[in-house]
Amino acid sequence: MSRDPHCIFCKIAHGEIPSARVLETDLAIVILDVNPVVKGHVLVIPRDHHAQVRDVPDQLAAHLGSLVPRVTRAVVAATGAEGSNVIINSGKVAGQTVDHCHWHVIPRFSDDLVDWPWPHEEYSGDEKAQMAFRITRELDGPID
C-alpha cells in the first residue's frame, strides 16, 4: 500500500485521524466531508495515495467508480435530495485542495446555494476535430 505520511487523507484512511465513515472496502473509504458544500456531502477516497485522478491505476479507478452509484443512491435517499453532483477536482487549478485523489458526492436541492452551471466555451473552425485527434492519439498509447 502506498501512502504519504504528510497526507491528511492517508492519515484518515489508515485511522490516524477520526472521520465519520459511511462505507469501507479493502481499497477505499467513504466519509462525510468536514466542510460540506451541502450537508450529506461525502468523499470517496482510495486508501492508496495517488495525488490526482490521472495517477490512479485503472483497476483501482474501476473499484472507486463502482462505489459511486451505490453511495449516490444512499446520499440522495438519506438527505431527500432532488439530485446530486459527482465531481473529481484534479490539480490545484481545478480546485483540488488535498493532493490525494477523491470523488465528491454532493446532494443537491433546488434551493441550495451552489452556483451552477459552469460557463461554457465553443470550438471554432477545426478546433474540435484537432482536439479529438490529439486525445484519441493519447488514448491509443500504452496503458499504465
Which residue numbers are catalytic?
102
Cα 84 from Cα 102, distance rounded (Å): 16
- The answer to whether 21 and 9 are in contact (CB under 8 A) is no
In the chain, alpha helices (H):
8-13, 58-79, 127-139
Considering only CA atoms, which of 97, 132, 139 is closest in space to residue 87?
97
Question: Which region, left, alpha or beta, applies to residue 11 given φ > 0 means left and ψ of -120 to 50 means alpha?
Answer: alpha
> Sign (positive/negative) of CA torsion 104, 107, 109, 111?
negative
List strands edge to edge, sheet with 28-32.
21-24, 28-32, 42-46, 103-108, 83-87
